[in-house]
Amino acid sequence: MRNNSRSLLILILMTLSICLVNSCAPISDIWPTPTSPHTLQNINGLKVLWSLTNIYTQQDYFNPMMVAGSGNLVFLGSVTRTVALNTICMNGLDGKISWIEYEQKLGSEQKKEKLGSPGFVTIYTNGLYIVYGGFPEVDKYDFCTGQELWVQNLSGKGVGHLYMVGNQIQVSTDPFILTILNAEDGDLILRKKGEDIFVIMPDVTYLPDGPGDLNAVNTSSGDLIWHIELDQRLRLAPIFTDQLILVRSGKVLGTAYAIDRLSGKVIWQTTDNIISNIARTSYGTLYVLTRDGYLLEIQEKTGDTSTVASFSNPPFGLNGEIIAGGYELAYDNSLNILFILLGDSRQLFALQR
């Protein structure tokens, strides 16, 4: 039953997205007029490098549309108020555009399929991986130059999640197909069908079980190791560290959790007003944004929380999150820069620790 429900959700999102791209709704419905700008205040331990306006991204229910690393920020979207899924790379220190991969190069039918559903970007040490929600393929790019390195077509449609495990890329598509690729060249290693899976680790496989549940099973035997129920639907893709699973529940607002990978025990959790994804640093600190305008710094192991900045004119507006970009954070560990995208005002901030 849970598999059918998740499959139906992906198909509904794709249908809504395609409708919008094919002018079923005016641009004002897709991206409402930006609200009055927010200003940063009460900043502690961070300095503002730059800020920009008119940053438009489409929102994906399951994955980030904005990632950072190696001194750069990459997002899927546009710097004008148009329906587009250009891949835009900015210099993290000054916000200037380094390169853009324009989707206008695609044929009309390809363009409709790629722009017809939100996608997501993922950065790992050996490259930038881009997946478009309605187009079953993975594209790998050189992060610094934007050069396309390889493309691998996938079975199914409605791409869900992408993870790196060792030197493997694991990507899920609808209806419940997990494809494992070689990260270096994109060659197919394995295709597993029939079960909704987040990621397969050597010993443990993690998979959703119902709207807000998460299971850990033995990879070899399939025996259940633990099961946990969250307060709301599990939307955003979990972050798997060596010891913890970090996840935010909810559709537009939710609770951030740290879950022990071995036992499934909740180590800590926040209040239920987190409006952003979780940005993780390499030194054990997390960042989240609350709807009432506070930027929180959380210690990954303990959950100890402090406010490091706030924004004027709270609360943040809710966009509905079907297509319109939301509130996203990304952290570049090479330069210790935190990027903050505000979905109501279309502002992008860069803060350095």
The domain ranges of the chain are 2-27+41-352
pLDDT tens per residue across span 109-125: 444 444 434 456 777 65
Rounded-to-integer distance, Cα 262 and Cα 244, Å = 8
pLDDT tens per residue across span 176-235: 899 999 999 999 999 988 888 889 999 999 998 877 899 999 999 999 999 999 988 887
Three-state SS at 153: strand
pLDDT tens per residue across span 65-106: 888 988 999 988 888 876 666 889 999 999 999 998 876 444
Mean pLDDT value of segment 19-27? 41
pLDDT tens per residue across span 234-292: 878 899 999 999 999 988 889 999 999 999 999 999 999 999 999 999 999 999 999 99
Cα-to-chain-centroid distance, residue 167: 21
Taken in order 109, 66, 300, 201, the sign of the CA dihedral is positive
| 189 and 200 Cβ atoms separated by less than 8 Å | no
pLDDT at residue 325, rounded to an integer: 54
| Fold of the domain built from segment(s) 2-27+41-352 | Methylamine Dehydrogenase; Chain H (2.130.10)
Taken in order 131, 163, 210, 202, the sign of the CA dihedral is positive
Instruction: Choose among 312, 316, 308: nearest CA to 346.
Output: 316
Instruction: Choose among 121, 117, 126, 115: nearest CA to 138.
Output: 121
